């Protein structure tokens, strides 16, 4: 079901608002699209400048890090700066408010930018980790940085081991906690919101499929069609920074 026209999405927004008003448990999955209006490029957006010759999928791998940790670290440091300068937008803020309007809400994000937490969302499941944390490659725990920067690459203050960003790279497992809690929420929810994601990266993209199988009302909010669009009950085709506040408005 698609609703490109204003009249169309007005009706779909009303139907989505009705489903949310009656909801017992809402599960929300967000992707890079919700942070686009905060100035953070999505994975689909071609990398610019000195990164234009790389694809995110090739840089965000343990193989790339093993081969060339300097390049991978400087890419993450570039992205960290973008995240530090970014502010949560109306879409992030609307999801924090939605959690206060429904009995239960589980927010699962593929984003590593921490903007949901900065918008006031509680208990955010960081499905792919967080870019602002360092993890020790020896102890495999979140670690502090050593003051000793002689080696150029960040080192663990405790054991001197090489640090890496605390994110999930392609080919790596999703952290057990978020993986289990997100799957349970997709199984249990009666409304599933898929916001700003291309629904191409697994196992995250499988969560909407679980919700569909469980006959939850699946609502997609995206600027563009995705593989999920034909299967969703409602599609709100527009920027999440406008659609989510409009949804809250329609609920009141
Ligand atoms: C694993 C962290 C095994 C790092 C990321 C099944 C089928 C096919 C492939 C696989 C499969 N199962 C596994 C795979 C392989 C792979 C995968 O899915 N590949 C894809 C590319 C085909 N998955 C994995 O490797 C996963 N691990 O399977 O491990 C295993 C199991 C057990 C034990 C050991 C190993 C790990 C995947 C996680 C990788 N890490 N990020 C970092 O950030 O640096 S993924 C990263 O890319 C993001 O986190 C996100 O998940 C993904 C990008 O997707 P989106 O967020 O959706 O963003 P995208 O740019 O694609 O799209 C943006 C959307 O927003 C668009 O639709 C656009 O229209 C829309 N939009 C734009 N602006 C707006 C908007 N919408 C609304 N408003 C706007 N303003």
Three-class secondary structure assignment of 110-127: CCCCCHHHHCCCCCCEEC
| CA atoms lying within 13 Å on the CB side of residue 122 | 6
pLDDT above 60 (res 170): yes
For the chain, where are the E strands, in sequence order?
Answer: 26-30, 105-109, 125-126, 129-136, 163-167, 191-195, 217-222, 234-237
Beta bridge mates, 167: 129
Averaged confidence pLDDT in the chain: 93
Task: Tell me which residue has tokens 């400048």.
Answer: 49
- Selected residue with higher pLDDT from 3 and 37: 37
Q: Does residue 172's CB lie within 6 angstroms of at least one atom of ligand 1? A: yes
pTM for the predicted model, two decimal places:
0.96
Q: Which residues are catalytic?
A: 128
> What is the mean pLDDT of the segment spanning 122-144?
97
pLDDT above 90: percentage of residues in the chain:
85
- Residue 32 alpha carbon to ligand 1 centre in Å: 9
Cα 142 from chain centroid (whole Å):
20
* CB neighbour class for 148 (10 Å; exposed up to 12, middle 13-18, buried from 19): exposed
pLDDT above 80 (res 109): yes
What's phi and psi for 227, nearest 5 deg?
-65, -20
pLDDT above 50 (res 1): no
> pLDDT band for position 2 (50/70/90)?
very low
Residue whose CA is closest, atom 20 of ligand 1?
A: 201
For 153-210, where are the E strands, in sequence order?
Answer: 163-167, 191-195
- Residue 100 alpha carbon to ligand 1 centre in Å: 28
Q: What is the DSSP string of 4-25?
A: -SHHHHHHHHHHHHHHHHH-S-
For residue 45, give the ligand 1 atom closest to its CA: 60
Residue whose CA is closest, atom 41 of ligand 1?
A: 128
Among the ranges given (5-14, 89-98, 131-140, 210-219), the one the predictor scored with the smallest mean pLDDT: 5-14
> pLDDT band for position 58 (50/70/90)?
confident
- Tell me the torsion sign for CA atoms 69, 71, 76, 80: positive
- Selected residue with higher pLDDT from 163 and 9: 163
pLDDT above 50 (res 110): yes
For residue 225, the model assigns a pLDDT of 97
Among the ranges given (3-12, 174-183, 217-226), the one the predictor scored with the smallest mean pLDDT: 3-12
Q: Does residue 30's CB lie within 6 angstroms of at least one atom of ligand 1? A: no
- Residue 101 alpha carbon to ligand 1 centre in Å: 29
Q: Are strands 125-126 and 26-30 parallel, antiparallel or unpaired?
A: unpaired
């Amino acid at each position: 079901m698609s609703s490109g026209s204003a009249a169309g999405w007005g009706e779909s927004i009303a139907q989505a608002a009705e489903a949310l008003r009656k909801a017992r448990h809402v599960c929300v999955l967000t992707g890079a699209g919700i942070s686009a209006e905060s100035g953070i490029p999505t994975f689909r957006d071609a990398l610019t400048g000195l990164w234009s010759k790389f694809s995110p999928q090739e840089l965000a791998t343990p193989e790339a890090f093993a081969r060339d940790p300097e390049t991978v670290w400087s890419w993450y440091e570039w992205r960290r700066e973008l995240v530090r300068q970014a502010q949560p937008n109306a879409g992030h803020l609307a999801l924090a408010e939605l959690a206060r309007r429904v009995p239960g809400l589980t927010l699962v994000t593929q984003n590593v930018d921490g903007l949901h937490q900065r918008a006031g969302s509680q208990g955010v499941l960081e499905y792919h980790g967080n870019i602002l944390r360092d993890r020790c490659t020896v102890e495999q725990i979140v670690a502090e940085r050593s003051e000793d920067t002689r080696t150029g690459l960040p080192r663990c203050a405790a054991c001197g081991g090489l640090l890496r960003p605390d994110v999930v790279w392609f080919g790596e497992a999703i952290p057990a906690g978020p993986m289990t809690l997100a799957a349970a929420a997709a199984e249990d929810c009666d409304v599933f919101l898929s916001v700003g994601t291309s629904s191409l990266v697994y196992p995250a993209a499988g969560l909407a499929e679980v919700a569909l199988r469980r006959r939850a009302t699946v609502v997609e909010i995206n600027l563009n069609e995705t593989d999920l669009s034909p299967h969703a009950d409602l599609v709100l085709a527009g920027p999440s920074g406008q659609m989510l506040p409009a949804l809250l408005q329609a609920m009141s």
